[in-house]
Structure 1
Amino acid sequence: MNSNSSINADRIGADIDALSAITEPGRPWTRRAFTPMFLEGRKWLEHALHEAGAVTQIDAAGNLIGVVPGKHPELGSIMVGSHSDTVPDGGRFDGIAGVVAGLEVARALRDQGMVLDHTLEIVDFLAEEVSIFGVSCIGSRGMSGTRPAEWLARTGDGLTLEQGISQVGGKPHGQAQRDDIRAFLELHIEQGPVLQDEELDVGVVTAIAGITRIEIIVEGRADHAGTTPMTLRKDALTTAAWIALGVEELGKALASGEHHFAATVGEFEMTPNAANVVPARVRILIDARAEQRDDMERFVDELDRGVAAISAKTGVPVSPLRIVSDNNPTPGDAMLLDVLDAACETAGARHRRMASGAGHDTAWMARITKAAMIFVPCVDGRSHSPDEFATTQDIALGAAVLLDAVVALDKKLQETD
C-alpha cells in the first residue's frame, strides 16, 4: 500500500472481527436482516460511525446512513458503503468489507483533518441478501425509488415487509428516493477466483451482469418402468437432460467471448419421482447472466431453437420458454471507472477491469446517480459460505483506492458540473 495513505489496516481488521462476531449462536456467520442480531450489528455500526465523526440516521427505506457534512452541502453527497446483513451460515466479508471500508474512509479523512466540499455519506443498505420476505436489495431499491409498492404486503416469520421496515426504524410509506447523491462507490469482495489467480489487488467493475431466469416445462408421459418398451416411452427426464446439457454447451460458447456470461440449470423438479415410473414431467429453471445484453438475447434465441430441436428428436412435448424475470446489465459509470483506475495507480494497486456476475446494491443506485464498484480478492473465490475469507491487507488496499477515488471525485464532480 502507498505509504502516504492514512488507511489503518488494524482498524479495519478489528472492525470486521467485531461486526462478524455478532452472529447467531453456533451459526457463523449469520446476521440476517430483520432479526435481533441484525439490529445488534446496526447498533455497533451506529457507534462506530459516531466515533468517526458522522451523524447517523435511518432513512425511510430502512438504510442506516452516517453523514459527514461537507464544506458546501449544496453540492450534494458522495456516498460509499454496502450492506451488513448476511446469508444464513456465511458472509463474514460479503457486504461487511464495503461498509467497514466506507467507515475507514471517513476516519482517514478525519485523521488528515480533511473536510470534503461534498457531504460524505456511509451507507449500510437494508437487506441486500434475499430476506425472510423472499426479496433482496430492499434498501437500495427504496433509495432509488424502484421498490415495488406491493412488496410491503409480503410476509415472512409472521411479519409484513411494511412492519419489518418500521421495526428497523424506517418509514415504509415515506419518501426515500434521493436526487442529491452525486456519486456512489461500493467496495466488495470479488466472490470469484479471478483476482487471486491473476495475483491482482483490485478489480474495477465494468458492469453488473443482467440476470434472466427462464422456465421450461417438459411434458412426457408416466408409464410402468418395467413393462414399457424403451422405444415407446415419452420420458420427460431424458429430454430435460438433453436440454440441460445444451444450456451448458451454449453457456460455455458465449463465455468464451470477450464479455462475462454464465448459464446454470439451478432448479430441476421431476414428477412423479418414483423408481418404477417413467418420468412424466420435469420443470427446469435456468439462471443466465450476461455483461452484454446482446449475449443474453442470443442465448435466449439459440436456447429456444435448441429446445425445439430436442423436442422434435425425442418426440416429447416441451412448453414454450417462459421468461420468469429479466434484468438488463448495469454498466459502471465511465467517468467513475477512470477515476478508480487512476486511484489504483495512486495507491499502488495492481488492477484490471472485470464484470460482476453477482447482483449488488450498486445496480439500483445506478438508477439515480453515477455508480461504480471495486472488487478485492477473496480466498479461492469462496463466498456465501463459512469458509469465505479476505485478508485485512487486501481490504485495506481496496479502502485506500476508495479513499483516493473519493478525494478525486470531490474535485472532479465540480469540474464536470
Structure 2
Amino acid sequence: MGERMVELNPVAERLEEDLTALSALHDPSSGGWTRTVFSEPYGHAREWVRSRMADAGLQVHSDAAGNVVGVLPGRDPAAPALMTGSHTDTVESGGRFDGIVGVLGSIEAVRLLRENDVRLERDLIVVDFLGEESNDFGLSCLGSRALAGELTPGHLERVDGEGVSLAERYSRFGIDPSEVLGAGSAWGPRRLHRYLELHIEQGPVLEERGTSVGVVTGIAGISRLVAGFVGRADHAGTAPMTTRQDALVAAARGVLAVRHVACGAPVHGVGTTSRLDSEPGSPNVVPGRVRMQAELRSVEPGWLSDAERRLSRQITEEAGELGVEVDLEWSTDNDVVPTHADVRQAITTTADGLGIDWEAIPSGATHDAAHLARLCPMGMIFVPSRAGRSHCPEEWTDTSAIATGVRLHAATLVALDRE
C-alpha cells in the first residue's frame, strides 16, 4: 500500500434514509422488523434493494441461487473480481441492522467510488445473499452456501413445520431449485480475488471498550443438537414421584447441561437451548416424549468437539438416572472459519492510515463470509452494537458508527483492488 490512501466519506443522511426505507418493508403482524426468508415482505425488500443497486450505478441481476447481485465493472473484466455484501432477511421479531448494514453500506461504497471518480481495476460485485438467517429447515446462509457448492439435494428435501420442502419453498418464491444446486459452478477458484463483509458486531465488546471498528479474526463453528427423550406417559395425579419416567424433567436437565458445558469454555464458547416440544402436552399427563433443540458455538475447534462429547455423555447419563431413553443427533452448521491474514492486514493498514481505531475480535455469529471463504480469501469489519443487543427489536447501531465502518469498508475495497 505504497500509494496514497483513498479517503471516501459516506453521506450519513443518505445511509439513514436507506435504513429507514428498508426497515419499513417488514411483516406488520409480527414483532420488531420481521422479514423472514421466502416471505412476502422479503420479496418486496429485495425488489427495493435491486432498485437501490441500479440507482447507485450497478448492473443488477438475480443469480441461480436467488441472490440479488450488482456489478460495478472494473477496467479489466478478466481480473478476478472483488465481492462484498451481506443479507436483508431477519429472524422473527428481529432488528433493523443485522445484515442490512453490510448491504446498504456496500451500496454506499459504490456511490462513493463513482462520485469520487475512483475506477477499480477489477469488477466489484455487491450481493444481497438469500436467506442468511437460520430457518425452519435448520439451514442458514442459503445463498452463500449455494455459491460455495455446499447446498445438497438432501438439503432441498428437508421440510418445515408445515410439511413443505425447501425445494418447494424455492419454487414458490420464483427460484428453480434444480438450478440452485449448480449455482456454485460459476465461481471457480480463480474468479474471485477477495471477499469483504461489513456487519454489526451483535455483541458488547466494541461499545464497552469504546473502539470504532472490529477486525474479525474468525467465525465461530456451530454444532447443532436435536435430542429426543423417551420416557413414559402417566397420570399426573396418581403416578408416584419416585416411579415416574418424566421425559421433560430429563430434558430440563439437558438444558442445564448445555449451559454448564458452555460456561466452562476457557476462551470462547456459548451454548443455547432454543426449543422444547413436549408430548402429549396435556396438563394432567406426565410427559412421555420431548424433543429438544440446542447448539454450541466457539472459535476454538478443539473445545467445540470436546464439548460435544462431554455434553452427550452428561445428557445420556442423567436421562438414564430417570429411566428415560435419549437419542442424540448432532449436525455441523459450519466449521470454525478463520479470516484470511492478507485481508486482515489490508483492513488494519487502511484503518491506521485513516486514523480509525480498531480491535481484533472473533465473531460468535455465523455470516455469509464463512461460506465465501471456500471461494477466496475473506475478511470482515464490525461496527458497534448498542449494549450488544441483536436478533431483537432493540438492536441498534448509531448512524455515525455505520458511517465510520463504511468509510473503512470502501477504502479497504480500494486497497484490496490494488493488491
Within-5 A mapping of 1:261-272:
261-272=269-280
Question: Residue in 1 aligned with 2:253?
Answer: 242
Change (3 A) 1:262 1:230: same
1:410 to partner: Cα distance: 1.4
Separation (CA, whole Å) in 1 of partners of 2:306 and 2:6: 48
- The answer to whether the aligner puts 1:382 opposite 2:389 as a matched pair is yes
1:208 to partner: Cα distance: 1.5
Deviations 1:34-61 (A, max 9, x none): 3443343333323322332221122221
Separation (CA, whole Å) in 2 of partners of 1:21 and 1:168: 29
What is the alpha-carbon root mean square deviation over aligned residues? 2.9
Question: Residue in 1 aligned with 2:19?
Answer: 16
Deviations 1:106-148 (A, max 9, x none): 1111122111111111111122234576643221122222222
1:79 to partner: Cα distance: 0.9
- The answer to whether the aligner puts 1:99 opposite 2:103 as a matched pair is yes
Question: Residue in 1 aligned with 2:144?
Answer: 140
1:291 to partner: Cα distance: 1.0
Question: Residue in 1 aligned with 2:293?
Answer: 285
1:175 to partner: Cα distance: 4.3
Within-5 A mapping of 1:19-38:
19-25=22-28, 29-38=33-42
- The answer to whether the aligner puts 1:409 opposite 2:416 as a matched pair is yes
1:316 to partner: Cα distance: 1.9
Comparing 37-46 and 51-60, the one that deviates more: 37-46
Question: Residue in 2 aligned with 1:367?
Answer: 374
Change (3 A) 1:237 1:170: closer
> Partner amino acid for 2:11?
N
- Contact 1:154 / 1:160 at 8 angstroms: preserved in 2? no
Q: Normalized against structure 2, the TM-score is what?
A: 0.87
Separation (CA, whole Å) in 2 of partners of 1:219 and 1:129: 31
Separation (CA, whole Å) in 2 of partners of 1:149 and 1:182: 29
Separation (CA, whole Å) in 1 of partners of 2:149 and 2:319: 43
- The answer to whether the aligner puts 1:55 opposite 2:59 as a matched pair is yes
Comparing 36-45 and 79-88, the one that deviates more: 36-45
Within-5 A mapping of 1:308-387:
308-311=316-319, 314-325=321-332, 327-387=334-394
Q: How many residues align?
A: 407
Q: 1:303 aligns with which of 311, 333, 337?
A: 311
Structure 2, gaps ≥5 residues long: none
Structure 1, gaps ≥5 residues long: 413-417
Separation (CA, whole Å) in 2 of partners of 1:102 and 1:298: 39
Q: Secondary structure at the match of 2:344?
A: helix
Separation (CA, whole Å) in 1 of partners of 2:335 and 2:172: 29
Percent identity among equivalent residues?
A: 37
Separation (CA, whole Å) in 2 of partners of 1:15 and 1:375: 19
Change (3 A) 1:318 1:382: same
Question: Residue in 1 aligned with 2:48?
Answer: 44
Change (3 A) 1:76 1:401: same
- Contact 2:219 / 2:362 at 8 angstroms: preserved in 1? yes
- Contact 1:93 / 1:388 at 8 angstroms: preserved in 2? yes
Q: 2:116 aligns with which of 106, 112, 115?
A: 112
Q: Secondary structure at the match of 1:319?
A: strand
1:81 to partner: Cα distance: 0.7
- Contact 2:146 / 2:181 at 8 angstroms: preserved in 1? no
- The answer to whether the aligner puts 1:201 opposite 2:199 as a matched pair is no
> Partner amino acid for 1:369?
C
1:236 to partner: Cα distance: 3.2
> Partner amino acid for 1:264?
T
